[in-house]
Structure 1
Amino acid sequence: MKGKVLVFGGTTEGRILSDYLRDYCIPHEVSVATEYGRDILAEKGEDKLLVGRKDRGEIEKVIKDGSFTIVVDATHPFATVVSEEIKGACDSAKVRYLRLKRDTGKELTGRDDIIYADTLKEAVSALAAISGNILLLTGSKDLQDISDSFPDVSRLYARVLPNEESIGKCAKAGLSGKQIFAMQGPFSRQMNVATIKEINASAIFTKESGRTGGLSEKLEAALECGIKAVVLKNPENKSENSEGYSLEKVLQLLAEHCEIEIVLQKNITLAGIGPGGEEYFTRELTKEFEVADVIFGAQAVVRNLGNGFIKKSHKEIPIIPEYSGEKIYKYLEENSEFKHPLVLFSGDISLCSGAKKASEYFRDRNYKIKRICGISSVTFFAERLGLSLEKVRIVSAHGRQCNVRGYVAQNEEVIILPSDADNAREICSLTAGSSQIIGMSESVTAKAQNTGENMVVTVGCDLGTTDEKILKISEKPELAADISGKCLIYVKNPAAVHQPAAHGLSDDEIIRGKAPMTKEEIRALSMRKLALTGNAVFYDIGAGTGSVSLEAALLSPDINVYAIEKKDEAVALLQQNKEKFGADNIEIIHGEAPEALDLPAPTHVFIGGSGGNMGKILATVFTSNESARIVINAVTAETFAEIMECLRDYPNIEPDIIQVFACRYKKAGRYHLADALNPVYIITLQKGEKHDRD
């Protein structure tokens, strides 16, 4: 490794840069002006420190004596004299000079309540024209110049660092007692508002120091309090020729100079906070609060942190009401000084779709992600109800389409996470009826009714808070009106234990009418050939009464079924059967294929009737998904011939063809007579599929 780096810091940017230099073991030292700056860096683990202000000659001597080969100026943007001294010393010592420039954002022009000044003299003149008390948020450096030019020093109040030097400058400038706020930042908007109100300020004075200097929080506080803000412009922004680099560019240049590779992998922590109260924070989360320098979360999650745990930890850090990965990323890109962002989610992140999306978003952008689990609302709810979770199916309907009735039909115990209180009431209305309504066959319903057990529906609202409610909706349906806040639903369906382990419907259970229906023996073989997966997108083309659609929908609540049917009578029967079996994952498409197939790409397709459009249907399906698995039922020789002719266009498909003969027997007196079903061809098509039956 070549090169040795000298950093002039004391600023947030300088501290972040020194963190990277230590992480990559780059030889360096950091020069700070004050002991206060030294103490902050020492707390972060920096042990290569030079303390004290230096002129050009002293800086040049440090460069030569320390054999430094490159210098980074990370001083405050308003320390222009210091920057000139550093740059001059570098020129004399013939070493490279890099200016780490702070992004101070854009001016808020066109506002009467925000006044920008090019010089300190202009700023003091603007302040003097405002009656009432003035809160100075520019530190102690310029206090003497301000008080010398200000007509009434008794109207000035200053917030400075809590050290002897700063307080001494306040006294020398004529400020004393309650005019001095000796505090360590950073400061939140709320803290700034409190200070403004404490002295009944009419205006604040601040420097254009960007996010790092808390400019946004200061201006937001002034606007909230309805007072003026006088802003001293960043001198570096006034010169078009002012050369400077971002932190990322400085690190890139240092890597090239020292002949090493620096990978700027950033860090972010995603954490669940449980029900929300501090008493439910995990120890790991408590430790994370100590290192976080910015916190994100939905408004409902972060709204109490400012006056709660964060304040107890004796540090004020920005709390941003946002949980979208994209928006958080944009904020962090615009405010690169934050190195330890923490994103909070209610409950546990393993049951939070927001945490999952944020994880994927930041992982794709080379972030190192730390995940901290919390006490989930499901665990909390189970404890309140005295449940054992090993047999409970947990279903999220939060912000997504979910076939809740399907899950309830198949599972004796279900805990549902709804989107909100309205969604919870809607789900309760679907699940609080008889077992027949939620998708049970008549035989299963009869068995369930013989047990004498009724369905149980219970809602937990705002668990772990002072507003907590446990509502037993199945006992008192009118309690559904009291559902509010964040909630969960528990449903116990005794009928589910009587569901056959092997799926399949009897023909007698399906409402038939005059529409054609695939018989159950043929359905059983066709379903086996379809080999539906749990996340299938399934087309039932020529659905008729919907017998195949029902078989698919009841196989798993996660299967998305599209029943395509052109005849009005059949569509009406489809709707009746969908309601009878609670098959909410069936979407009925009234139309003719292939025109009606403008749908999500299918993974599986059943063709029970093509209306003479077999070639066009196959072309449409394979265009949408060339790997789709298709099963076709053909009764007539003409239909079979049509299919075989169409397959000439697909030489890479080897069809699997079987012909099924089934015969039922009916009792006639003391005899059983054969009642044969029509022979049916079952043809399976899938690209790349091989069928060797030798």
Structure 2
Amino acid sequence: MKENKILLFAGTTEGRELAEYLVERKVKVHACVATPYGESLLPKNRLLSISHQRLDECQMKELIKEFEPRYVVDATHPFAKEVTENIKHACIEVKAPYIRLLREAGQAGESVRVEDVEAAVEYLEGTSGNILVTTGSKELENYTRLTDYQKRIFARVLSVGDVAVKCEELGIRGRHLICMQGPFSVEMNLAMLREYKISYLVTKESGIAGGYPEKCEAAAMAGVGLVVIGRPRQEAGMSLEEVIKFLKYEMNLQDKWKVSLVGIGMGTAETLTAEGKEACKKARLLIGAKRMLEAADQRQHTYASYQPEEIVSYIKEHPEYENVAVLLSGDAGFYSGASRLLKRLEAEPQIEARVIPGISSVAYFCARLGVSWEDAALRSLHGRQGNILAAVREHEKTVILAGSAQSVRSLCRKLTEYGYGGLKVCVGADLSYDTEKIIEGTAESLQVYQGADLAVIYVENPDMCKGMAVHGLPDGEFLRGDVPMTKEEVRSVSLSKLRLAKDSVVYDVGAGTGSVAVEAALRVTDGTVYAVEKKEEAVALIEKNQKKMKADNLVIVEGEAPDALLGLPVPDCVFIGGSAGNLEGILDTVYRKNKKARVVINTITLETLAEVKRCMEELPVTEEEIVQIAVSRSKKAGRYHMMQGLNPVTVISFTLHGKKDEEA
């Protein structure tokens, strides 16, 4: 079998991309280009040799014999008909396998189509106004037949010395000679059309890689006539993706992908960074939600998905798209799917992934409002539940990503319900779009918000509470009635023994007034506290204290433990202030839910203490500790102060550990 070598006639962007693909996979390539400039565009690699002499058919045959490639790939320009015929004949003569790599055709809008340059000149002779010619320098002489061509023609050609000299000789010079390397963006084309007051743009139907769609779009935006020199007769051949797929199979080439996770900003082209645009432009495949693919306004192959597994599977099924861009809304590092997808991509050794940040909606919205956000709490309601109330309670500024118009209304209703109805609230809808709208009001007034789903919420609370650094809210802060309450000194020690984390799931069994549950909820701002209570009067008090303290992450469960615990999420920490004689069943239920749960039990009577000790002997526990707290408070008697003792409370704490003996 012949060595893995390719002889490549590379006159197009697709040819360059194929050369890059092959040498990265250790395939030896010899590339033939027409000019030194074409050589400069090819990658520098020891496996790639390059010649830039123009070859006739005989020279091509000699080169094929000398190089002995497995395949000859013709990636010359679609208008280079003579070169293609010579390559074909040479391959037939020496019996070398021939592959024609075709450019993909772009989509044209309103245009006048002609067969060749001569027909374009004939059409333009009957018109008036400036003409931008983008068909290259080789056929530029044809345009000198136009009346007043030196005034009308603006030629955009390659920035190569001999090209510029030729244009000068034809009388196209100065401002009328534009030496630049393309392809060009829509914005650049549009700027040129306006700068030179162009009435007609002449272009070949050079495909996506040749920048044809961008020319069409710019002409339409500027109201410029488009003269399109149609493609030559339909050729048989394969696209770049098809060639890659074919060579991969025939030459057993290794799959390899470069994947960019691109934050696209708010969704419009204006909020996509230059780095993001470049990554999208270079990608052969764009992946993202439908809205994001539309926002990218690119013409590559696309796949609509935002699920990591689907994305990775599709990439691996299509090795021909080795350069991929995955589009993500906003900034890829801010409440984005990038983290999950990046982790999944990094598990694939053949995928090289990178993240390109975008402009977050928070940064954009705060800039529109004229407020800084370095001291703001940032939250999201998009596909998640968050303790927004805690953020509002403890921060002057809170910025929230809304998942829908309904989530805006629900948040404003909740703020109003918890006494924050008068707070200033701003909603930014469809940010950066033509339909952008910023609404300012209060939480109460925006309960009936009817704007767009794509929204960001700004809440301002000038009277925010910074949050206490230690446990022990004063007893007087709680509504009590005739329901027993854990006093602040005992509550402080009990909460300390629970070892709460910021995201803990906590049970308060026998919650009473809810003093422990409420204070725990104020500490576990990213977690949830479940207050379990069977008495109606106590349940009502817990609800009132919840509203008073604005503890939105407190869930009241009316019922008797252990049955009331069965449907609750797995707990991290459990406080038992009252068991109603069901302590053994409660602990057994907790153990079955989480064999490593942290447990704190408060007792007043010796009988309950004995029961706790018995249960601890039956359960696998560690870090057990028994502390008795005897609190005395001063009481004024005339001009004297006397200490008055409260009932001593025993605080038992332990951590469940491992399996019971009978389960081992």
TM class by shorter chain equals 0.5 to 0.7
1:555 to 514, 523, 526: 523
Matched, 1:464 2:463: no
d(CA) in 2 for partners of 1:211, 1:525: 70
Matched, 1:342 2:325: yes
**Match in the other structure for 1:5:** 4
2:597–2:655 Cα contact (<8 Å) kept: yes
d(CA) in 2 for partners of 1:209, 1:604: 64
1:432–1:474 Cα contact (<8 Å) kept: no
Per-residue deviation at 1:536?
A: 1.0
1:184 to 182, 185, 207: 207
Q: Which amino acid aligns with 1:633?
A: N
Residues 517/209 of structure 1: CA separation in 2 closer, same or farther (3 Å cut): farther
**Match in the other structure for 2:117:** none
Residues 249/670 of structure 1: CA separation in 2 closer, same or farther (3 Å cut): farther
Per-residue deviation at 1:533?
A: 0.9
SS at match of 2:337: helix
**Match in the other structure for 1:642:** 611
**Match in the other structure for 1:106:** none
Q: Which amino acid aligns with 2:29?
A: E
- Structure 2 regions of 5+ residues with no counterpart? 76-87, 100-134, 137-202, 218-226, 229-233, 659-664
Q: Which amino acid aligns with 2:294?
A: R
Residues 431/89 of structure 1: CA separation in 2 closer, same or farther (3 Å cut): same
Per-residue deviation at 1:44?
A: 5.6
Residues 497/619 of structure 1: CA separation in 2 closer, same or farther (3 Å cut): closer
Q: After superposition, where does 1:536-555 map in structure 2 within 5 Å?
A: 536-555=504-523
**Match in the other structure for 2:581:** 612
d(CA) in 1 for partners of 2:573, 2:443: 42
**Match in the other structure for 1:437:** 419
CA-based RMSD: 5.0
Q: Which amino acid aligns with 1:409?
A: R
d(CA) in 2 for partners of 1:390, 1:458: 18
Per-residue deviation at 1:532?
A: 0.7
2:621–2:655 Cα contact (<8 Å) kept: no
Residues 498/319 of structure 1: CA separation in 2 closer, same or farther (3 Å cut): closer
**Match in the other structure for 1:299:** 290
Residues 573/184 of structure 1: CA separation in 2 closer, same or farther (3 Å cut): same
Q: Which amino acid aligns with 1:424?
A: V
Q: Which amino acid aligns with 1:372?
A: I
Matched, 1:565 2:549: no
SS at match of 2:647: coil
Q: Which amino acid aligns with 1:537?
A: V
Matched, 1:506 2:474: yes
d(CA) in 1 for partners of 2:580, 2:16: 74
Aligned identity (percent) is 34
Q: Deviations over 1:54-76 (max 9, x none)?
A: 99xx99x98985588xx579999
d(CA) in 1 for partners of 2:376, 2:511: 34
2:631 to 662, 672, 680: 662
**Match in the other structure for 1:289:** 280
1:13–1:74 Cα contact (<8 Å) kept: no
1:473–1:479 Cα contact (<8 Å) kept: no
Q: Which amino acid aligns with 1:282?
A: T
Per-residue deviation at 1:524?
A: 0.5
1:458–1:473 Cα contact (<8 Å) kept: yes
Q: After superposition, where does 1:472-511 map in structure 2 within 5 Å?
A: 472-474=440-442, 477=445, 480-497=448-465, 500-511=468-479
Q: Deviations over 1:205-225 (max 9, x none)?
A: 999979946xxxxxxxxxxxx
**Match in the other structure for 1:387:** 371
1:633 to 602, 605, 613: 602
With normalisation by structure 2, the TM-score equals 0.66
Per-residue deviation at 1:660?
A: 0.6
d(CA) in 2 for partners of 1:593, 1:546: 16
Q: Which amino acid aligns with 1:600?
A: P
1:580 to 539, 548, 553: 548
Residues 304/394 of structure 1: CA separation in 2 closer, same or farther (3 Å cut): closer
Per-residue deviation at 1:652?
A: 5.6
d(CA) in 2 for partners of 1:654, 1:350: 40
Per-residue deviation at 1:187?
A: 12
d(CA) in 1 for partners of 2:602, 2:248: 63
Q: Which amino acid aligns with 1:269?
A: S
Residues 16/541 of structure 1: CA separation in 2 closer, same or farther (3 Å cut): farther
1:552–1:559 Cα contact (<8 Å) kept: no
SS at match of 2:435: coil
**Match in the other structure for 2:352:** 368
d(CA) in 2 for partners of 1:476, 1:402: 20
2:500–2:524 Cα contact (<8 Å) kept: no
SS at match of 1:391: coil
1:13–1:337 Cα contact (<8 Å) kept: no
Residues 654/482 of structure 1: CA separation in 2 closer, same or farther (3 Å cut): closer
Per-residue deviation at 1:267?
A: 1.9
Per-residue deviation at 1:270?
A: 1.3
1:293–1:317 Cα contact (<8 Å) kept: yes
